[in-house]
Chains A and B, each alone.
Chain A
Amino acid sequence: MKLRIQYFANLRDKSGKEEEVLETPTSCPLELYRELQKSYGFELNADQLGVAINDRFANWEQSFEENDLVTFIPPVGGG
């Protein structure tokens, strides 16, 4: 499955990427995040993050579709 992944804040610093396209066997955000955590050494755990698919908040078990845009949301701090 081909996915587009977008990174912000701590995750962007750690991965060194704003965005990337990945071919992955994972089928939901939770599996994907665990993969990425191994690759990039993300310190935040999934339970500290939110997730969005195609610019909408999603849940961690939602099944991916080809070319989905997946974004992990670290703890926010606007204002």
Chain B
Amino acid sequence: MFRVSSVDLEVTAELENLSNSRAGALVTFEGWVRNHHEGRDVLHLEYQAYEALCLSEAEILRAEVLSKHDIIDLACVHRVGHCPIGTKAVWVGVTAEHRGAAFDACEHYMDALKVRFPIWKKESYVDGDSEWVRCEACAEHEHTHGHH
């Protein structure tokens, strides 16, 4: 289950849906909007998402993560719109019988979300500049690739 939210992240419904008497672990990850990036002072972020394509990509990713890790279920909510410093940008919750698989699945999901979901992040800086920031893994890959 995946959705985007244009208001502060509220995950009560996700937690209720994840609730399962077989689960011995719930691992959650929250991505927060921080006040700096690569040495620059960040004022706030803006996210845009291509929602329809995110939903179909999220279904594909959920199936991949469920088949690879011994988990029960997972859910994710991603913010869109204007995000002040300190607010939640993304939330992922994973339930499993045991915590190891839930931690691994949570990391797998977040790593893939960053490179695959059509979501864009614009950083506005204290100095008045702003920039659409690509995911670090994608930039790193291109950098490495370019030198081979």
A residues apposed to B, CB below 8 Å: 6, 8-10, 12-13, 50, 52, 55-57, 71, 73-79
Hey, which chain A residues are within 8 Å of B133, CB to CB? 77
Q: How many residues of B contact A (CB 8 A)?
A: 28
A-B contact count (CB 8 A): 74
Most buried by A among B50, B121, B139: B50
Residue of A at shortest CB range from B130? A13
> How far, in Å, is A50 (CB) from chain B's closest CB?
8
B132 touches A77 (CB 8 A): yes
With A9-B48, A9-B120: A76-B56 Cβ-Cβ less than 8 Å: no
Q: How far is the CA of A57 from the CA of B116 in the complex (A)?
A: 11
10 shortest A-B CB distances, which residue pairs?
A78-B119, A9-B120, A75-B134, A55-B52, A77-B121, A79-B114, A77-B134, A77-B135, A9-B132, A78-B117
Q: How far is the CA of A57 from the CA of B133 in the complex (A)?
A: 22
Hey, which chain A residues are within 8 Å of B135, CB to CB? 75-79
B residues apposed to A, CB below 8 Å: 31, 47-50, 52-53, 56, 78, 89-90, 110, 113-122, 132-135, 138-139
Q: How far is the CA of A77 from the CA of B121 in the complex (A)?
A: 6
Q: How far is the CA of A77 from the CA of B115 in the complex (A)?
A: 7
Partner of B48, one of A12, A57, A75, A79: A12
Hey, which chain B residues are within 8 Å of A6, CB to CB? 50
Q: How far is the CA of A56 from the CA of B118 in the complex (A)?
A: 11
Q: How far is the CA of A78 from the CA of B78 in the complex (A)?
A: 8
B118 touches A79 (CB 8 A): no
> How far, in Å, is B141 (CB) from chain A's closest CB?
11
Hey, which chain B residues are within 8 Å of A71, CB to CB? 50, 53, 118
Most buried by B among A6, A57, A73, A77: A77
Q: How far is the CA of A13 from the CA of B121 in the complex (A)?
A: 13
